[in-house]
């Protein structure tokens, strides 16, 4: 199974997490690569790959800058993603209760609308916690990989 880690970031945290996930996956023998969402096209999403999406939240529950070009195309994308499997890891701050982790949820909803299936727990990092974002993501990863085996 080829794993593609996609990330959308404003300050670089999602990029660091994506790289740490990709490094771990490669160390564990998986074929994995990461891409900034601004450098990825919706037409490139295929059922041949498993996708891990890492996305922060900016402003009032908005997507971060590097996810915006992708999402503009993704909103209008008419493809059928039935058979595509993905996992979602969102970043946010529970101090902003109403918009916590909403950036990733915009992407999650669109993947689902197009027929893709999210597997595993929805991963989240809370900036108000003392936990390091990459530590949380790396603890989350094995459960996602186990869930992905069932497909």
Specify the pLDDT at position 137.
Answer: 98
Round to whole Å and give the CA distance between 59 and 69.
17
Q: pLDDT, tens digit, for every residue of 22-69?
A: 999 999 999 999 999 999 999 999 999 999 999 999 988 999 999 999
pTM (2 d.p.): 0.96
Confidence at 96, pLDDT banded by 50, 70, 90: confident
Confidence at 145, pLDDT banded by 50, 70, 90: very high
Round to whole Å and give the CA distance between 102 and 29.
32
The pLDDT of residue 150 is above 80: no
Mean pLDDT of the chain, nearest integer: 95
Q: pLDDT, tens digit, for every residue of 23-33?
A: 999 999 999 99
Tell me whether residue 126 is exposed, middle or buried, using C-beta atoms within 10 angstroms of its C-beta: 0 to 12, 13 to 18, 19 or more.
middle
Confidence at 1, pLDDT banded by 50, 70, 90: confident
Question: Domains in the chain and their CATH numbers?
Answer: 2-149 (3.40.50.360)
The pLDDT of residue 124 is above 80: yes
């Amino acid at each position: 199974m080829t794993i593609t880690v996609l990330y959308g970031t404003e300050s670089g945290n999602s990029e660091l997490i994506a790289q740490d996930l990709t490094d771990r996956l490669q160390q564990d023998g998986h074929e994995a690569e990461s891409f900034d969402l601004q450098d990825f096209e919706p037409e490139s999403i295929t059922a041949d790959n498993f996708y891990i999406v890492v996305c922060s939240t900016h402003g009032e529950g908005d997507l971060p800058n590097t996810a915006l070009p992708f999402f503009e195309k993704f909103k209008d994308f008419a493809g059928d993603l039935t058979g595509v499997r993905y996992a979602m890891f969102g970043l946010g701050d529970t101090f902003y209760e109403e918009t916590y982790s909403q950036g990733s949820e915009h992407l999650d909803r669109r993947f689902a609308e197009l027929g893709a299936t999210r597997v595993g727990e929805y991963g989240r990092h809370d900036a108000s916690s003392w936990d390091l974002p990459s530590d949380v993501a790396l603890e989350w990863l094995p459960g996602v990989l186990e869930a992905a085996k069932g497909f």
